[in-house]
Amino acid sequence: MKTVLITGATSGIGKATARVFARNNFKVIICGRREDRLAELREELSAQTEVHTLLFDVSDKKKAAEAIASLPVDFATIDVLINNAGNAHGLDPIQTGDTDDWDAMIDINVKGLLYVSKAVIPGMVDRRSGHIINIGSIAGKEVYTNGNVYCATKHAVDALTKGMLLDLNPYGIKVGAVHPGMVETEFSEVRFKGDSERAANVYKGLHALSADDVADVIYFVVSRPYHINISDLVVLPTAQASATVVKRN
C-alpha cells in the first residue's frame, strides 16, 4: 500500500485530494494548522484507509522538519508528496501592498513548499523512487493586475518544479506541477480576509472548477504508469481562457 502526504489538507483542493487518494487505497498523511479539521477528516477517512495527521505550519522550518521526522514507521515511507498548502493574501497594487501579506505568501507558498520538500526528498532519493506534485496556478504562468506577489510565488513554484525535475531525474523520481485556474474553495475568503461577499463575487456567473475536479486531475497524474510523467498541467474551467479572460453569464 502506497503512502501520500498532502499539505493543506484541511480545506479545498488538499482535502478533496485526500479523499480521492483514500478511496484509491493509499495511506494518507494529512497536514494543516487547524487541528479540529484534521481530526474531523481523519475520522472520515479512517473508514477507508490508514490515516495520520501532522499539525504544523509549513513556513516554520523547524516544525516542518520535526513533523516529517515524527512520522511513525508505518507512514515514514512517503511515495507521493503533494505540495498544496498555500494561499493568496490580499490583491493590491504593488505601491500599496501590505508587507505582512507579502511575507505570508513568500513564506508559505515558496519557502514552506521547500521546507516540506527538503524533509521528504532525501528518503525518495535513497529509495530511488517517489512522485512530487506541486500545486502551482494559472498565476504561475501569467501575471495579472494586483496579483504581483502572489503571481511571483506561483512563478517560483513553476521554476522549482522544473528544478526538482532536473535534479531528481537521475533517481527515477517523478516531478510535476498542476496549475489550476479558478477553483471555488476558501481561497478567495483567505485572500480577502474573511470578506465572503467579495469572495463569492470572484466566482459569480461562471461554472468554476470544484476542489473535487482538481483532485481528480491530481489523481490522474499520479496514477499513470511509471514511464509516464505529466510534468506540467494547466487545468481551467471552460469559462476561463486566461488568468483574466473569463466568460460570465
Which of 138, 157, 217, 221 forms a contact with ligand 8X3 (CB under 6 A)?
138
Shorter beta-carbon distance to ligand NDP: residue 133 or 182: 182
* Sign of the CA dihedral with 208 first, then 113, 3, and 44 last: negative
Is 171 part of the annotated catalytic residue set? no
Taking CB under 6 A as the binding criterion, the range among 79-87, 118-126, 219-227, 240-248 that sits at the site for ligand NDP is: 79-87
147 binds ligand NDP (CB under 6 A): no
243 binds ligand 8X3 (CB under 6 A): yes
Partner whose footprint covers residue 243, from ligand NDP, ligand 8X3, none (CB < 5 to 8 Å by kind): ligand 8X3
161 binds ligand NDP (CB under 6 A): no
Nearest to residue 141, comparing CAs of 241, 228, 41?
241
Taking CB under 6 A as the binding criterion, the range among 52-60, 93-101, 112-120, 131-139 that sits at the site for ligand 8X3 is: 131-139
Residue 12 CB, nearest approach to ligand NDP (Å): 2
246 binds ligand NDP (CB under 6 A): no
Per-position x/- string for 168-197, each x denoting binding to ligand 8X3 as judged by CB under 6 A, each - no binding? --------------x----x----------
Per-position x/- string for 27-46, each x denoting binding to ligand 8X3 as judged by CB under 6 A, each - no binding? --------------------
Q: Which of 150, 171, 219, 226 is catalytic?
A: 150
Q: Is the Cβ–Cβ distance between 113 and 83 less than 8 Å?
A: yes
Which of 3, 11, 17, 240 forms a contact with ligand NDP (CB under 6 A)?
11
Distance from C-alpha of 104 to C-alpha of 109, rounded to nearest angstrom: 8
CA atoms within 13 Å, Cβ hemisphere of 3? 19
133 binds ligand NDP (CB under 6 A): no
22 binds ligand NDP (CB under 6 A): no
Burial class (CB in 10 A: 0-12, 13-18, 19+), 56: buried
- Kindly list the residues in this chain that would bind ligand NDP in the complex (CB under 6 A): 7-14, 32-34, 57-59, 84-87, 108, 112, 135, 137, 180, 182-183, 185-187, 190, 211
| Catalytic (active-site) positions | 150
Site residues, ligand 8X3 (CB under 6 A): 137-139, 147, 182, 187, 243
